Amino acid sequence: MRNPKRDVPRMIVSAGVIAAVIYGLVILGIVLVIPSAGLSNVSGFVDAYSSVAGVLHSHPLDVLFAILVIITLIGSGSVWLEGADRTQAIAALDGAAPAWMGRFTSFGTPIAVNLSSGIVASAMCIVIFIATHGSLESFFAVMLALTVSTTTASYIFIFPALTILRRRYPDADRPYRVPGGTAGAWAAVVITELFVVVTVITLVWPGAINAMFGQSYSVKASWGVSRAFFEWTTLGSLVVMVLLGLVFWQIGERNRRAGLVGIGIPAELLAESGEQG
């Protein structure tokens, strides 16, 4: 991406058209194959496929669907992961983590953080899989909650940065700007922050919001594991991540004191920064 003002809208439009076409074809197939009386039992593509597979009984179709699901997860997960890894690598170069985590390849890939996150993720998958006694349903539910909650929690600190940066750097050149001045910026921050907080509470402590409205909630029925196991996994992981971040910050303190920040940034990243003002 060389020109965000031009490239980001182009990417959003093209990706949106592709997604709309693909999702539209899948939804059309579901509607045409599944009887109208059975559509109310379909809550997602997996349920829809289960209903279709029960009618067609096609092993080749099962294999093809499994391959497509895996490719979809890899494609979505790799893009999501690459953005986070790239941010962590730049943070390391800024002195917020060990310097070795800021290593990039000649293609601009944050290779050190990529490998580190892969090792940590693999270890977490093994631990959770063993703890759930090999139950794929429980394993997927807990890992999904852990992944989404930890990622969403980071936005609690990201969204308020809009008003802080506007106040500290009012003259900075920005490709996109929330309209409405200070009031518009605060409105955007408050609205998005509320969504994030509700999401984090829902995923970290399921049933908390239900209890506020007098509704009963069972972690065992919804996630397939006990409340104790679920909370030890999610809250324990969050605590470990926070402590690890503090350790990284302390390690990077030596580089900050020595003024060794930004060393090792690939030339193409510096070129992009220069072109973007």
Q: What percent of the chain has pLDDT over 90?
A: 12
- What would you measure as the largest C-alpha separation in the chain, in angstroms? 69
Token representation of residue 219: 């972690």
Q: Of 33-37, 110-114, 144-148, where does mean pLDDT reach its minimum? A: 33-37
- Give the pLDDT of residue 81: 83
Which has more confidence, 9 or 78? 9
Residue 144 has pLDDT above 80, yes or no: no
Chain mean pLDDT for the chain = 80
pLDDT, residue 184, reads 93
In the prediction, which pLDDT does 277 show?
Answer: 38
Handedness of CA 128, 129, 130, 133 (dihedral sign): positive
pLDDT in tens, 69-100: 788 778 777 877 888 888 889 888 888 888 88
Helix, strand, coil: what percent of the chain each, to 5? 75, 0, 25
CA angle 266, 271, 274 (to 5 degrees): 130
Per-residue pLDDT at 46: 63
Please report the pLDDT score of residue 139 as a whole number: 78
In the predicted model, what is the mean pLDDT of residues 192-206?
89
pLDDT (average), residues 185-197: 93
Stretch among 37-41, 132-136, 239-243 having the lowest mean pLDDT: 37-41
* pLDDT at residue 163 in the model: 92
pLDDT band for 275, please (50, 70, 90 cuts): very low
Range of lowest pLDDT (4-18, 63-77, 84-98, 155-169): 63-77
Give pLDDT, residue 37.
65
